[in-house]
Structure 1
């Protein structure tokens, strides 16, 4: 087989007449913001139902979803939030922008999810939240994290930006007893270009978040009686209409990705030097936001060259996240009283994964089964050339 022939990956984002019909529906209803229209309300009900949550609140983006959730959890100046060191920077910046200190901890070398023992060791009297990130749609160890939360009294905030419709031992994300935040950014599993949502297990914090996301103003207020300090994080009606259409095909796409990962993962594992991400088997419906693999022992420069070879061969490949403490942004505000090297010393798995990991966009897993074989052949040739 000619490995120089690019597999037939579908484009992303995907759309059809459902998105067009939704946009026209939003346009013609005559009210284009959530307080007068119906698209955002309808989307919130549908998203909450899919995830088994009593309440969902749509917001402007996934970063704002995390920030709003942390705020209603009491995070602010003088508090700390435990975050995985291997994640997108929004996980830490959401806490830091509230004036809190983000405390990075190491991750598991196989799942790339937060190391629960490391999280336990990082909890102090100032800790107000522990934030597991469900990396690539494989859920963190929610059993052990629930035990940690119960033991310490520190609540969990699930960063579920990669985990739309995923389940843990049969339970949906909204049935796990903690707040969860989602992203609808352009590359995510469902998208309106930007957007986010927070799901809540209780009415009290949902109502508090609604006020905060709408400038502190109650739904029925007509006299500008703002009750709390807030900001404008409201999602617009056009984005919600698109997201309703995206939501309608989410589960079928996840099923396809699961079938394709079952083919691609062993093919990658058969390549000398390649180790695919291994999810916890208790995640019984991983959403496969990324197809991730490591090449242990490779240098960062060679990993970057590997990504360039894959891209040149037509594979949508990316270098994995940089350890958050290895960025200048992390140290600008809300950083722990440590040096980057001190944090790195207690995060050896994060150091290695940040250096040797590659991820493929989830549209790879929407291609045909034969394309999985072509993809593996291209990866094998690119790794051999390093």
Structure 2
């Protein structure tokens, strides 16, 4: 293994920390999530407001949900945002608002979190995983085109890890076939494509605010859209068939009107979550800029020792780093298994969040519809027969680093590079 010119020092060939050796780093990493200024005041306001959810009676002051929805819509320069209880809920709301249901197929990436498949099954449609681009790991437009059938009712594109998908090609395909494009931006809050925020190119942009995300309230989500009719459908779908009243209610009255236009479910965000998100949103652009700068250091340092960084589509103007991702090029090292490599690197870094990438959807252990009674007897839900060679290769070779580490400094990035360098140089220890 060649030494790293970027570090300016030789590899320290010593026993790996995973095998009882001294680690590269003993200092702990900052905790994530981290509270934003003003969060405690906002939570205290909710606590004493007499209203902890949008479904509670109006108390004479605009809810935090309405405030966050307005701020998140403004952030994306779109007119409509509907907060939801989770990223999964946002996907379900978007799919159903677009009319997806029984007898339909939905194209999804072959490399993504399991919810993209289980959510499609959850709205009684059939997920159709297609392969990804080997450099971006996002939907391959050519594979999407080949997968379209008369039953295709939607295309879900995921902006994965730190890459933005080829939105030029995907929006053109969706428009040509008259199929709604839904952007899953759970890992891309604030990213830009051709100077527009992602989430604004499709019929809907969907977001997760789960614990690990760059914008988080522990759990939570949102959908954004430029279409007033779709937004109204989304409001009904996430609030048991209710939508905002057209006027400011009197104190003690409900702010959600029972229109009976469309049956929904309860997928609302709490006021506590909305208050947290409103304060966190103010830091998002600044934090993303710091992550981008540190990711550039990792691109150089890790790229020099055999980890090829994931790239974004050519139209990308600003990336969001939910995770830095790199492909292990050395076959001998890759044969050890990326999970074992990631564990060894994490042991060198005081438990930093270094992980293998997602498994391909045709071999995802978390996608098991046969284990739930609601899916028994439904055809098309078994994904094991799909051929996803690029996704399968990525699942074997990509290692990821959580964005919280990218909020550190240059010294922290050097520690990460040194840890990978040490593990790669001493990988034979992991064969014992």
> Structure 2: how far apart are the matches of 1:217 and 1:5?
53
> Structure 1: how far apart are the matches of 2:204 and 2:257?
32
TM-score relative to the length of structure 1: 0.93
Question: Which structure is larger by alpha-carbon Rg, 1 or 2?
Answer: 2
Q: Secondary structure at the match of 2:100?
A: coil
More helix by share: 1
155-164 or 278-287, which moves further after superposition?
A: 278-287
322-331 or 362-371, which moves further after superposition?
A: 322-331
Residue number in structure 1 paired with 2:290: 256
> Structure 2: how far apart are the matches of 1:54 and 1:223?
21
Gaps of 5+ in 2: 1-8, 13-22, 246-253, 428-432
Q: 1:68 aligned to 2:93?
A: yes
TM-score relative to the length of structure 2: 0.84
Residue number in structure 1 paired with 2:404: 363
- How has the CA–CA distance of structure 1 residues 223 and 374 changed in structure 2, closer, same or farther, with 3 Å as cutoff? closer
The one of 46, 50, 55 aligned to 2:71:
46
Residue number in structure 2 paired with 1:307: 342
Residue number in structure 1 paired with 2:327: 294
- How has the CA–CA distance of structure 1 residues 197 and 232 changed in structure 2, closer, same or farther, with 3 Å as cutoff? same
How many aligned positions are there?
A: 382
Q: Is the 8 A contact 1:51 1:172 kept in 2?
A: yes
- How has the CA–CA distance of structure 1 residues 40 and 335 changed in structure 2, closer, same or farther, with 3 Å as cutoff? farther
Q: CA RMSD in A?
A: 2.0
Q: Is the 8 A contact 1:258 1:286 kept in 2?
A: yes
Residue number in structure 1 paired with 2:300: 266
Q: Is the 8 A contact 2:157 2:181 kept in 1?
A: yes
> Structure 2: how far apart are the matches of 1:230 and 1:99?
15
Distance apart, 1:337 and its partner CA:
7.3
Q: 1:32 aligned to 2:75?
A: no
157-166 or 32-41, which moves further after superposition?
A: 32-41
The one of 363, 369, 386 aligned to 1:326:
363
Q: Is the 8 A contact 2:233 2:262 kept in 1?
A: no
Residue number in structure 2 paired with 1:77: 102
296-305 or 256-265, which moves further after superposition?
A: 296-305
> Structure 1: how far apart are the matches of 2:277 and 2:190?
14
> Matches of residues 345-364 of structure 1 in structure 2 within 5 Å?
347-364=388-405
Distance apart, 1:115 and its partner CA:
0.5
> Structure 1: how far apart are the matches of 2:83 and 2:381?
35
Instruction: Provide Cα deviations, 1:238-259, integer angstroms capped at 9, x if missing partner.
Output: 1000011111101100000011
